[in-house]
Amino acid sequence: MEATLSYVAVGCNAATNALSIPLNTSLPSSRSYKFSGAFAAKNVVSLLSCSSPSNASGAPLTIVETLKHQEVTTNSTRLTSVRLQHSTYNSAVRVLAGDSEGHVFLWTWTQDEGDWKLLQLSLKDLELPAVAVAAVVIAETSRRQLYFATFSDGTLAVFEENKTRGKVILLAKLELGVKCIMETVDAIALTYGNDEGTEESVLVAAGGVDSKVHLFEVAGGSDTLTPLLELEGHRGWIRSLAFQNQQKIESATSVLLASASQDQRIRLWKITARSGGPGKETSKEPAEVHDGFLAIGQQVKYTVSFDALLLGHEDWVTSVQWMQLPHADEISSGTQDSQPQLVPITSYW
């Protein structure tokens, strides 16, 4: 008699950032069927696969693998945040996760090797806080991977993996304090007309208990995390942030940032990036311009403006996600009132 595994079911941890569905898997591709989502289940990461059109009779989502770390856990330990990322340059798939004890884990999969490799980022000699990881995100440039993690004491840490050396190091750490605990973070590598061979700058958005959206920058080739701007408007904790895929407009790049809050609202911010860092007579301080705010990075000028206010929820908005569809992009949102919404975003541009 032979027994084979036919079905796996496991519950997702009750945390806002415990589920990750990458934006580029909204439209199926051959690689998306392999790993289309990830979620935290106690102390493991469960990987989801989406059924291909040729297998329409199968379950739309199935658990295909579970990733385990090697840390000793207790009954109260659990993974609190997960992020799944498909590389835009090769077949690599990465999963970044943090737990309630302050550990940060990275799993990497490549099509050539076919198995997952585990690396723990939060080693004791890095002097990172031993408190819960609130949120994690991955950003990829042409030269490196950047891994961001926020902690429940107000710390924001950035790790770097150089594609040539393959070693992960702690790049920068900001201690923002308990009044600026970041509950959510997202990041995007911007192609803003930079010269060929120049690394892209990474724009980081973080938000939390101070009800502000904080923008940071890791400039191409830089090893510093630079604060750019604080966006105000929400009247409750920021619970979720999501960048839309960028749009090229002549010599600039524009992207929409969605911010979801406990004030029951979703705000859309339009961010336009153009080449050009600070000149000799240019102040690095944010300034008001006719269409919003101007922030000067090391290599990029950012114009940020409030674009739209999305209403309709009657309770805290705890998650927001862009969906890339053939006819238009949509925003999906989840709330405490258990009434998810889908909003097409076409008329705001």
In this prediction, residue 230 carries a pLDDT of 95
Residue 226 has a pLDDT of: 94
In a domain, 1, yes or no: no
DSSP 11: P
Q: Which range marks the domain in which residue 14 is found?
A: 8-180
Distance, in Å, from the CA atom of 307 to the CA atom of 292, rounded to the nearest integer, reads 10
pLDDT band at residue 284 using 50, 70 and 90 as cut-offs: low
Residues 134 and 224 in one domain: no
Q: Are residues 117 and 247 in the same domain?
A: no
pLDDT of 262 reads 95
pLDDT range class, residue 288, cuts 50, 70, 90: low
- Is 196 found in the same domain as 117? no
- Residue 42: the pLDDT is 95
What residues does 344 pair with on adjacent strands?
Answer: 330
Is the pTM higher than 0.85? The answer reads yes
pLDDT over threshold 90, residue 126: no
Which tokens hold the place of 300?
Answer: 């990029």
Q: 138 and 220: one domain?
A: no
| Count of domains forming the chain | 2
Quick count: other Cβ atoms within 10 Å of Cβ 348? Answer: 10
Model confidence pLDDT, tens digit, residues 245-264: 878 777 788 999 999 999 99
Same domain for 105 and 28, yes or no, is: yes
Q: What is the pLDDT of residue 89?
A: 86
Residue 127 lies in a domain: yes
Q: Shortest CA distance to 179 belongs to which of 153, 156, 158? A: 153
Q: Does the pLDDT value for residue 57 go beyond 80?
A: no
143 within some domain: yes
Do 27 and 138 belong to one domain?
yes
Q: What percent of the chain has pLDDT over 70?
A: 87
Burial 157-187 (b: 16+ CB within 10 A, else e): bbbbbeeeeeebebbbbbebeeebbbbbbbb
pLDDT digits (tens, 9 = 90+) for 155-210: 999 999 987 777 899 999 999 999 999 999 999 999 876 566 788 999 999 999 99
Q: Are residues 145 and 169 in the same domain?
A: yes
pLDDT score, position 279: 52
Q: What is the residue-averaged pLDDT of the chain? A: 86
Burial class (CB in 10 A: 0-12, 13-18, 19+), 77: middle
| Least-confidence region, from 111-120, 275-284, 297-306 | 275-284
CB 117 within 8 A of CB 108: yes
Does any domain span residue 100? yes
Tell me the CA distances in angstroms from 48 to 118, 242, 254, 342, one per residue in order: 18, 21, 31, 22
DSSP string for 132-199: -EEEEEEEE-SSEEEEEEEETTSEEEEEEEETTT--EEEEEEEE--GGG-EEEEEEEEE-SSPPTTPP
Whole-number pLDDT of residue 104:
95
Q: Give the residue with greater pLDDT, 290 vs 170.
A: 170
155, 180, 205 - which closes a domain? 180
At 24-39, the pLDDT tens digits run: 644 444 444 588 899 9
256 & 314 share domain: yes
- Are 193 and 119 in the same domain? no
Is residue 132 domain-shared with residue 197, that is, in the same domain? no
Residue 293 falls inside a structural domain: yes
Positive or negative, the CA dihedral 175, 130, 13, 10 is positive
Domain with residue 278: its CATH number is 2.130.10.10
Query: What is the structure's pLDDT at 27?
Result: 44
The answer to whether position 2 is within a domain reads no
Going from the C-alpha of 65 to that of each of 9, 35, 135, 140, 233, the distances in angstroms are 11, 9, 22, 24, 41
* Cα–Cα dist 276/188, whole Å: 18
Give yes or no for residue 281 having a pLDDT over 50.
no
Any domain includes 18: yes
| Residue 307 belongs to a domain | yes
- Check whether residue 135 and residue 192 sit in a common domain: no
Lowest average pLDDT, out of 234-243, 304-313, 329-338, goes to: 329-338
pLDDT of residue 26: 43
Which residues, in sequence order, are CB contacts of 74 under 8 Å at separation 6+? none
